[in-house]
Amino acid sequence: MGCNASTAMDESDPEYLEKLQNSKVEQMLMQSQQTEKNQVKLLLLGAGESGKSTVLKQMKLLHKGGFTYQERMLYGNVIWADTVGSMQTLIIQARKLGIRLACDVPDSELSEFKRKVLAYKTLDSIDASKAGGVSFLKNYVLKYSENGAARRKKMSTGRANAGWEDDYDEGQEGPEEIIPGLYELSDKNEVMYSRQEIAHAIQQLWNHDEGIQTCFQKSHLFQLEGSAAYYFDHAHLYADEEYLCTDEDILKGRIKTTGITETNFIVNETKFKILDAGGQRSERKKWIHCFQDITCALFVLAVSEYDQMLFEDERVNRMHEAIMLFESLCNSKWFVNTPFILFLNKVDLLEDKLRRSPIRKYFPDYKGKTNDLEDTLQYFEKLFLSLNRANKPIYVHRTCATDAESMKFVLTAITDMIVQQNLKRSGLI
């Protein structure tokens, strides 16, 4: 009884209660520190259209069980719009480049297909809410309207720009400027073709008009969706309004990243937080908000885009922009002790492009064999590693972000490496 009385007295003692409370706080702090040690923050970086978001999609496939019903519906609508827009772009650009099209011959069957595609009002044919609402509408008009292209050219600086360190503002149109005029070219009295008719017309032009193929081979001279050929081959699928996209469709499809997205999953009892930031210049000023406490930075470089110009500034070479961006980030005070992973991405597209677009035309100091894939990859790898004035560790991987099997191997390797390094740094091993 004496013992019980003593305990009761201790528990009512203010000094005892204060010690007990402090002990609980310390315990919570220790648990929080332990959680932080067991957490990895991976930051995805790179210029626009480099493939960052595709890497994130592969991570979702590996660790989050794939894509939702809503995501599959979303991509189905976006890809259908991009399929039509891409074919319209090829027809219009062929005229500008002076390429003869078989579909320009009057009264031919191909001519009728061309007429249908050019007359088709994509935005009248889809449920915009299923495709992403205002964000989709704005992006679609920026990509495919003649006014949007003319405005980008007018605003072009012609200078590569890191973008994230400055208060850079591209000054693109806001939704309020674009949305009212979306349907200004629509004639509500004209014949509205079915999606199936347009899909058939697209595939006929793609498969039977050599001029369309010739224009496609010169697509580095203008802005065209990187997966356009894949879209055309599968147009009949996307014409079905109830079509649910496959994993491959979603990996090939592209929805512009705006702002910073955060994705969380667990790998080997380690919590991964992946931050994906939009790569176009107007998005980069938001990057600095997620630079703190980064475990590892993954920079994605599209090696196949050595002969292409930025979407947002058509006088700037995409590779030159990526070089300046990587150099700025790699040597930044924010990443003094942060290891970098460099993905040389779109290797499959590079191999095909080298046959028709000599790299020396864009990089005169290239000394390797003409149109040689291995020499070209080594050239870009050495070029980017030479920008590392901070002498930090940089791990290089050659990737095709849309290839699920190869990416599974690469991502498994780098996640294991990151986990091991994080445990060592935290003193847990």
Q: Which residues are catalytic?
A: 49, 54, 254, 276, 280
51 appears as a binding residue in the annotation: yes
Q: In what order do the strands lie in the sheet with 270-277?
A: 260-267, 270-277, 39-45, 296-302, 340-345, 394-398
256 appears as a binding residue in the annotation: yes
50 appears as a binding residue in the annotation: yes
- How far apart (Å, rounded) are the C-alpha atoms in residues 257 and 260? 8
49 appears as a binding residue in the annotation: yes
254 appears as a binding residue in the annotation: yes
Q: How far is CA 127 from the centre of its chain?
A: 24
345 appears as a binding residue in the annotation: yes
229 appears as a binding residue in the annotation: no
253 appears as a binding residue in the annotation: yes
100 appears as a binding residue in the annotation: no
198 appears as a binding residue in the annotation: no
- How far apart (Å, rounded) are the C-alpha atoms in residues 342 and 227? 23
Closest among 78, 174, 72, 92 to 122, alpha carbons compared:
78
What are the φ and ψ backbone dihedral angles of 309, each rounded to 5 degrees? -105, 155
Residue type (1 letter), 291: F
251 appears as a binding residue in the annotation: yes
153 appears as a binding residue in the annotation: no
Q: Within the chain, what is the greatest distance between any pair of CA atoms?
A: 109
Closest among 328, 374, 289, 378 to 160, alpha carbons compared:
328
- The pairs formed by 32-36 with CB atoms below 8 angstroms and a separation of 24 or more are 35/271
52 appears as a binding residue in the annotation: yes
- How far apart (Å, rounded) are the C-alpha atoms in residues 53 and 59? 10
277 appears as a binding residue in the annotation: yes
What single string gives the DSSP state of each residue in 390-409? T---EEEEE--TT-HHHHHH
- How far apart (Å, rounded) are the C-alpha atoms in residues 228 and 309? 17
233 appears as a binding residue in the annotation: no
71, 420 contact by CB (below 8 A) = no
Annotation: binding site: 49-54, 251-257, 276-280, 345-348, 401
Annotation: binding site for Mg(2+): 53, 257
Annotation: binding site for GTP: 49-54, 251-257, 276-280, 345-348, 401
